[in-house]
Amino acid sequence: MSENGFSLPLIHNTVGIMTPFLLAATGGLFTELTGMLNIALEGLMLIGAFFSVVFAAATGSLFLGILLGIISSMLVALLFGSISLYLKANIFISGLATNLLAAGLTVVLSFQLFGSKGVIRFENISKLPELRIPFLQKVPLLGDLLIGHNILVYLSWLCIILAAVVIYRTPFGLRIRGTGLSSPTITSLGLSPTGYRLKAILISGFTCGLAGAVLTLNLGAFVPNITSGRGWIALVVIYLGNKTPLGIVIASFVFGFAESISNYAQGAINIPADFILAFPYMITVSAMILYSVWRHYREYGK
């Protein structure tokens, strides 16, 4: 019992904290499979975060807030996708542009609407409903860990399962993968690789919008740059997850765990806050380097 007092809540938190990573990486998986490195995840998430909380406060409905947040994020994804694909812009640069646009737009709008460039609290937002199933909660261990999260957590699980089915069991998924493996083949079949890339970007807009909504609606507030690198971490999650849905779940869990440990450390140990904020970056970059070392030796022998 004494041990559970520490480790179970930590893992319970991890399951909640990993959700934005998982969602952003789910959408990013589609773009990655079509052969694009989508660095706009960060910006799309920020757009989703801002608009979902603003619309939730304005309409008084969480559902509408999330929906409009997702739509905003998909609109920006559409802009990003059309410029990258149809105007043939360099995708890294247009990705950077998207991140900048998101950072600028959210601050300008929050200054314009609320007169503040800082944290904006929304008092009238109801909390995200949590899933409580009394008899399942009694199941030892699993009940503690998996039950009692907010509904978006379960929605993220649904998304990744759906993504796995779509990617591996539908013609659409096959063509998405085909676009990344060999776009000339797709063209020779009379299909448009550009079309599949745009759809992949829109899917990433959808999941990133949802991921952003998780961040702000949990808090009931918007903090400038609330995503703080999570979109980038999601990119690394896709790599570490070996570009498979299951791998992404595991990798998100690892990063969620790292973040919940650093949250825990913030309260328990006397470390400067800046170091704790830097911790996720350091973990991510080390994980990424270790992964590439592992891959390197697996591919080229010793």
Q: How far apart are CA 234 and CA 87, in angstroms?
A: 27
Interface region with other proteins, contact rule CB under 8 A, candidates 104-112, 136-144, 145-153, 211-219: 104-112
Q: Cβ 166 to other proteins, closest distance in Å?
A: 26
Task: Choose which of 6, 111, 168, 172 interacts with other proteins (CB under 8 A).
Answer: 111
Q: Which of 56, 204, 209 is nearest to 128 (CA)?
A: 56
Q: Cβ 291 to other proteins, closest distance in Å?
A: 8
Q: Which long-range contacts (CB under 8 A, 24 or more apart) does 245-253 make?
A: 245/26, 245/29, 245/160, 245/161, 245/163, 245/164, 245/167, 246/164, 248/22, 248/25, 248/26, 248/29, 248/160, 249/22, 249/160, 251/21, 251/25, 252/18, 252/21, 252/22, 252/25, 253/14, 253/15, 253/18
Q: Cβ 255 to other proteins, closest distance in Å?
A: 12
Q: Cβ 266 to other proteins, closest distance in Å?
A: 13
Tell me, residue by residue from 70 to 89, as one string, x for binding to other proteins by CB under 8 A and - for no binding: ---------x---x--xxxx
Interface region with other proteins, contact rule CB under 8 A, candidates 64-72, 190-198, 209-217, 268-276: 268-276
- Which parts of 21-50 interact with other proteins (CB under 8 A)? 37, 39
Tell me, residue by residue from 214 to 253, as one string, x for binding to other proteins by CB under 8 A and - for no binding: ---------------x--x--xx--x--------------
Contact 131, 151 (CB under 8 A): yes
Task: Choose which of 6, 59, 60, 117 interacts with other proteins (CB under 8 A).
Answer: 117
Contact 217, 52 (CB under 8 A): yes
Q: By C-beta, is 103 or 261 nearer to other proteins?
A: 103
Three-point CA angle 24, 30, 32, nearest 5°: 90
Task: Choose which of 92, 114, 154, 264 interacts with other proteins (CB under 8 A).
Answer: 92
Task: Choose which of 63, 135, 140, 274 interacts with other proteins (CB under 8 A).
Answer: 274
Q: How far apart are CA 280 and CA 259, in angstroms?
A: 6
Contact 221, 120 (CB under 8 A): yes
Task: Choose which of 4, 6, 59, 108 interacts with other proteins (CB under 8 A).
Answer: 108
Q: How far apart are CA 279 and CA 121, in angstroms?
A: 27
Residues that bind other proteins (CB under 8 A): 37, 39, 79, 83, 86-90, 92-94, 96-98, 100-101, 103-105, 107-108, 111-112, 117, 229, 232, 235-236, 239, 272, 274-275, 277-278, 281-282, 284-285, 288-289, 292-293, 295-296
